[in-house]
Amino acid sequence: ITEQDINQENHLLIGGADATQLAQQFGTPLVAYDVSKIRSQIKAFKRVFEEKQVPYAVSYASKAFSAIGMYEVVAQEGGHTDVVSGGELYTALQANFPVEDISFNGNNKSYDELVMAIDAGIGAIIVDNFHEIDLIEQILSTRSTSVNVLLRITPGISAHTHEFISTGQEDSKFGFDLKSGQARVAFERVMKNSKINMRGVHAHIGSQIFDVHGFVAAAEKLVDIVADWRESFGYEVEVINVGGGFGIRYTKDDTPIPAESFVAAIIDAVKAKTEALNMKMPEIWIEPGRSVVGPAGYSLYTIGSRKDIPGINAYLAVDGGMGDNIRPALYQAEYEALLASNVNAKSEEVVRIAGKYCESGDILVWQQALPQTKPGDVIAILATGAYGYAMASNYNRNPKPAVVFVEDGQAKLVIARESYDDLVHLDRHYV
Ligand code: LLP
C-alpha cells in the first residue's frame, strides 16, 4: 500500500475507488481488482522480451483467476492465455479470446476436452503423457486439421516452495520423465505423426518461487533437451516454455524481486546457453498466473461478531472465509489485512481474523495488528487476486462473492454474487 492507495479521508483506494464505497455498493464479501495493476504487470513482462529482442508469448495462467472479463483484459494487453480444463477453455472462448493464442496444460485432459480444443483451433496443446498422445492421434485420425504441441517435461528441479505447489521435482505427477528417457520417446512418437507439429518443450517448476536459480536451471535444462534432440534426430524445436511461478509479496516478510526480473534472468540464461551450443534463439513462453492477478486483488469483508478470550486471543469474525479464500487453511498462507475506513490508523491490538465457516481452521489471518474496530467496519485483505476466487467453494452453502474490476475510479461487476437460487439451481427433489 502506497500513499496513492489512500484518499484524504484515510480510506483505502482500489483502482481509484473508495473501498468502503465498493463494499456498500456491491456488498461483501467482495473481490475487487485494480485492473491497472493487471495491465501493468503484463506490460512489464512484455517489455523485458521486447528490450532483449526475443520472440515470446506472455501466456497468463488463467487458473489463478478465470472469468470472461479477465480474458478480455489479457487479450486487450496482447497477452496469450493458458487453460487447464474444458471449463477454462469454454470461458476464454466466451470472451472471444483469440484461440490461436490459447495453450492447454494438464496431466489428464479428457478425450472430450481435447476434441473441444482441437476443433476450436487451439494454439498449442502442452502434452503431458503418452495416454494424451494416444488421444490426440485418435482425434486427428478422423480430421484433416493438425495441432501444435509442446512436450511438458519434468526437469528434475525442486523449487523451494510449499510441497503441494512444487511441481518440477522428479517424483511428480506432471510431464514426461527425463532420466528414464520418456521425453525422448514422446518426441519420436510426435515427430512420426505429420498432423502433430512439434513446436517445443515446457517445464513448470512450482509456484510462489523467490529464488531465480530454479528458473535458470530449468531453462538451461530445456535448452539441453532441445540440443540433445537436435543431435539425435536432426530437428530443432523452436519454443521453450518455462511455465510460471514468480513469487509475489503477501506480507512484509516477503521480499520478492519484481516478477519481470525473473524473466530477464531466464532470457539471459537461454541466450548464453544457445549461443554456446550454436543454436538459434528459441521463442520463450512464460505462463505467469499469480504475479499477474495476485497483487491486483483485494478481498473486502464486513466485520460481524467478536470473541475475546482474556489473555489469550481476540477473534474478529468476517462475513466470508475459507469458501472464498481457502489458501490460509490449505497452505498456511499468510496475508495482511487493514481497516478500509482508516488505513493509517495506529494499531491498537492484535487479532485473529476469522471466517464464518464451521471449522476451527477457518482463519484468514492468524495475527493482525489493527486499530479498534466495530461491527459493520470493512476489512480489506490484500493480494488475494490469485487462487482466491478461483478456488472458491460453496462450503456451508455460502454463495460465492461478487467480483468487480475497478479502473480510473470506475467499478464494474465482472462476476455477479451468487444467490440462494443459484445454490439450489442444480438440486433435484428426491421425494
Ligand atoms: N503453468 C503451469 C503449468 C502451472 O501448473 C501453473 C500453476 C502456472 C503456470 C502458474 O503458476 P503461478 O505463476 O500462478 O505461480 N493453488 C496454489 C497454486 C497452484 C499453482 C498451480 N500451477 C496456491 O494457491 O498457491
Using most ligand atoms within 8 A of CB, pick from 63, 70, 242 the residue to mutate for ligand 1: 63
> What's the 245 CA to ligand 1 centre distance in angstroms?
6
Tell whether ligand 1 has an atom less than 6 A from the beta carbon of residue 174.
Answer: no
With respect to residue 42, please indicate whether it lies within any of the assigned structural domains.
no
> What's the 132 CA to ligand 1 centre distance in angstroms?
21
Catalytic (active site) residue 358: yes
Q: Does residue 102 share a domain with residue 24? A: no
Q: Which of 419, 387, 383 is nearest to 322 (CA)?
A: 387
Tell whether ligand 1 has an atom less than 6 A from the beta carbon of residue 207.
Answer: yes
Tell whether ligand 1 has an atom less than 6 A from the beta carbon of residue 244.
Answer: yes
**Grid coordinates given for 64:** 489463478
Tell whether ligand 1 has an atom less than 6 A from the beta carbon of residue 128.
Answer: no
With respect to residue 41, please indicate whether it lies within any of the assigned structural domains.
no
CATH number at residue 139: 3.20.20.10
DSSP state of 12: B
Measured from the Cα of 244, ligand 1's closest atom is 13
3-state secondary structure of 159: coil
Q: Does residue 323 share a domain with residue 233? A: no
Measured from the Cα of 387, ligand 1's closest atom is 24
With respect to residue 224, please indicate whether it lies within any of the assigned structural domains.
yes
Q: Does residue 308 share a domain with residue 282? A: no
**pLDDT score, position 158:** 72
With respect to residue 38, please indicate whether it lies within any of the assigned structural domains.
no
Residue 111 marked ligand-binding: no
Q: Does residue 333 share a domain with residue 266? A: no
What is the DSSP code string of 236-279?
Answer: ---EEE----B---SSTT--PPPHHHHHHHHHHHHHHHHHHTT-
Residue 389 marked ligand-binding: no
Residue 288 marked ligand-binding: yes
Using most ligand atoms within 8 A of CB, pick from 88, 290, 292 the residue to mutate for ligand 1: 290
Of 272, 358, 369, 416, which one is the catalytic site residue?
358
Question: Which residue, of 274, 293, 312, is where some domain finishes?
Answer: 293
What is the DSSP code string of 294-323?
Answer: TTTEEEEEEEEEEEEETTTEEEEEES--TT
The residue whose CA has the least distance to atom 15 of ligand 1 is 245
Q: Tell me the per-residue pLDDT of 60-109, one tens digit each, with 9 for 90 and over.
A: 999 999 999 999 999 999 999 999 999 999 999 999 999 999 999 999 99
With respect to residue 39, please indicate whether it lies within any of the assigned structural domains.
no
**pLDDT score, position 171:** 84
Q: Which of 292, 261, 290 is nearest to 52 (CA)?
A: 261
Residues of the chain with pLDDT under 70: 159-168
With respect to residue 431, please indicate whether it lies within any of the assigned structural domains.
no
**pLDDT score, position 168:** 66
Q: Does residue 339 share a domain with residue 278? A: no
**pLDDT score, position 161:** 56
Question: Which residue, of 267, 293, 319, is where some domain finishes?
Answer: 293
Residue 289 marked ligand-binding: yes
Question: Which residue, of 256, 277, 293, is where some domain finishes?
Answer: 293
Q: Does residue 283 share a domain with residue 317? A: no
**pLDDT score, position 160:** 62
Q: Does residue 321 share a domain with residue 282? A: no
Residue 258 marked ligand-binding: no
Is 395 in contact with 323 (CB distance < 8 Å)?
yes
> What's the 344 CA to ligand 1 centre distance in angstroms?
33
Q: Does residue 162 share a domain with residue 228? A: yes
What is the DSSP code string of 152-212?
Answer: EEE-----SS-GGGB--SSS-SSSEESTTSHHHHHHHHHHH-TTEEEEEEE---BSSB--H
Tell whether ligand 1 has an atom less than 6 A from the beta carbon of residue 165.
Answer: yes
d(CA 95, CA 109): 22
The number of folded domains in the chain is 2
> What's the 207 CA to ligand 1 centre distance in angstroms?
5
pTM exceeds 0.90, yes or no: yes
**pLDDT score, position 167:** 63
Q: Does residue 165 share a domain with residue 144? A: yes
Tell whether ligand 1 has an atom less than 6 A from the beta carbon of residue 287.
Answer: yes
Q: Does residue 315 share a domain with residue 227? A: no
CATH number at residue 346: 2.40.37.10
Longest CA span, the chain = 73
Tell whether ligand 1 has an atom less than 6 A from the beta carbon of residue 59.
Answer: no
Q: Does residue 306 share a domain with residue 282? A: no
With respect to residue 43, please indicate whether it lies within any of the assigned structural domains.
no
Q: Which of 316, 314, 315, 320 is nearest to 300 (CA)?
A: 320
Domain span at residue 276 reads 52-293
With respect to residue 45, please indicate whether it lies within any of the assigned structural domains.
no
Measured from the Cα of 330, ligand 1's closest atom is 24
Q: Does residue 9 share a domain with residue 104? A: no
Tell whether ligand 1 has an atom less than 6 A from the beta carbon of residue 389.
Answer: no
Indicate the residue type of 328. Answer: P
Indicate the residue type of 303. Answer: I
